Chain A
Amino acid sequence: MTDATMSSVTAPSSAPLGRRGPLGSVLVHAGLIAASIAMLYPLLWMLSASVRPEDEIFASTSLWPSSIDFASYLRGWFGLDVSFGRFFWNSLVVSVLTVIGNVVACSLAAYAFARLRFAGRNFWFAIMLGTLMIPYHVTLIPQYVLFLNLGWVNTFLPLVVPKFLASDAFFIFLMVQFFRGIPRELDEAAMMDGCSAWRIYWKIMLPLSLPVLATAAIFSFIWTWDDFFGPLIYLNDMNTYTIQLGLRTFVDSSSTSDWGGLFAMSTLSLVPVFFFFLFFQRLLIEGIATTGMKR
């Protein structure tokens, strides 16, 4: 978070309602710190369980392991018939392709809605907003039948191709909002100079929209990385499993015997999302504050 945002948050609201004595301030911080610890405790405990010697995992509620031992990571990595390297790779492929699909297809549609004039634009825009309300369960079964008949089950195509057809309409909406904020004079001037719509999209809109494209890309990545339902339905061959399916198989096959390995792989599976959290927190939080995304 930048200082600018922070002061804009704190300065005005530290007015009358916020005025509190030193004691009140200490109490508030005590409460917030206690809450923070409670929130993070399970995560830190899992991290520490993953580097603990196996026999110590359930013996201790403390966060400090007596010794650090990465054996669980090795055991977990090769704990199933297919190694976790494969699952991570599969997740990465699906997530990266999804990011590309979402950014390309949604920005194309958003540009049309935000800037181009054509018959039926408002109609289609309303329809697009309508699709945001529909739970995916309604289209789930016919889509499955369709992809099954296309021979796409056990491939990444059912997870990826819809994104190239802008199926995550939420991002269209997000981008339309952003595009509308870009001064029209820019593309009108370009149009006067004989620029085609395509060139305006490519040379003016996209370069000016990097923040919203980045937000869409990051949320696409995180949601796809975490997605469990889609892979559960479409991927049955262990070689095609994503990391989430790999973890689920691990729980079912060895939950009683190898908690260390399970926690090690669970921790690893959170690393990419945590990375985005560390480096793009501002974009994530702004994305939520301005559009009300659910996570």
Chain B
Amino acid sequence: MAAVQDSAVVVGGGAQARPVAQGRWASIWAKHGAGYMFLLPWLIGFFGLTLGPAVASLYLSFTSFDLIRAPEWVGTANYVRIATADPKFAAAMQVTFLYVVLSVPFKLTFALLVAILLDRGVRGLTVYRAIFYLPSLLGGSVAIAVLWRQLFAGDGLINSLLAQFGIEGPSWISHPNYSIWTLVVLSVWQFGSPMIIFLAGLRQIPTDMYEAASLDGASKFRQFYKITLPLLTPVIFFNAVVQTIDAFKAFTPAFIISGGTGGPINSTLFYTLYLYQEAFGNFRMGYASALAWILVLIIALFTAFSFLTSRYWVHYDD
């Protein structure tokens, strides 16, 4: 930095000094300039679209702001209201945590089970893997959410199937006790991508470990419990963290299935859906900013907690 200022002075200093100064500029430029030129788009994006807005949203979270009038400072009022006097926030937290707690373990268990089946030299592995992966790829789209809405409707496909066994199913999506389950099933249906990551992890486990274990007479169950599972814990940990953070941020399926309301009776009011409603439905931008920061805090706490506890159960080689 000092060097830059010096040469700036010298440049202003007179004609004789110029060659030296240019030399300095040139050498600084040659050393660092190219790097910053290549980085320029990202730097502009970082300051203009990430850092700036993040600071602004922290400020907005302490204001009342409706997009029309200037933000009005309200201190911690937004946070106080969220913590003490907002039943919809409480509902959204409850729904989101329920969704995370239900969808992530089911999804990962399924992914791991199928990965283990596929890992053991199954013929046609690539076909199965492709079929299981397809829902992960398509699942985020509105089309699938639309399909889900029909599948679990009162007169939908699931109930038609159940009717063939003489079971009369409820209207899953419009019953507050069941609606969350339709979203959990949708999430579990997309177990393909964690499955692929599990498969990659299973491939890393040396086969001679199993050979040694089976020579010692260890049963398959024991081999799984004593070899596969411990050696796979880093991958399980990774998948669990990624899927949990993703589940906290889920939006589209709940929006489409509930028609944007989060109903019935807030039973599908995902946190992000509530944030969207506050910001773009009610134009309470300050309040929504506070909600956003609370989401960040929750995700950060969860991540920190995972990493802290991971040393008690995640097994690393070295």
Contacts and interface: CB of A to CB of B under 8 A. Distances in A.
A17 B220 contact: yes
Interface string B26-59: 0000011111101111111110111011101100
How would you classify the secondary structure of chain A's contact residues: helix, strand, loop or mixed?
helix
Contacts of B200: 289-290
A18 B120 contact: yes
Nearest to B213: A16
B251 A229 contact: yes
A169 B114 CA distance: 32
A247 to B, nearest CB: 4
Interface string A111-145: 11100111101001001100101110111111111
Q: How large is the interface on B (under 10, 10 to 19, 20 to 34, 35 or more residues)?
A: 35 or more
B85 interface: no
B242 to A, nearest CB: 6
A13 B147 contact: no
A30 to B, nearest CB: 11
B57 A141 contact: yes
Interface stretch (B86-94, B149-157, B308-316): B149-157
Interface stretch (B7-15, B17-25, B133-141): B133-141
Interface of B: 31-36, 38-46, 48-50, 52-54, 56-57, 60, 67, 114, 117-126, 128-144, 146-151, 155, 157, 160-161, 164, 189-190, 193, 196-197, 199-200, 202-203, 207, 210-211, 213-214, 220, 223-224, 238-239, 242-243, 245-246, 248-249, 251-252, 255-256, 259, 272, 275-276, 279-280, 285, 288-289, 291-293, 295-296, 299, 303
Interface of A: 1, 6, 8-18, 20, 28-29, 31-32, 35-36, 39-40, 42-43, 45-46, 58, 61, 105-106, 108-109, 111-113, 116-119, 121, 124, 127-128, 131, 133-135, 137-146, 148, 162, 164-167, 169, 172, 196-198, 201, 222-223, 225-226, 228-229, 232-233, 244, 247-248, 251-252, 255, 259, 262-263, 265-267, 269-270, 273-274, 277, 281, 284-285, 288-290, 292-295
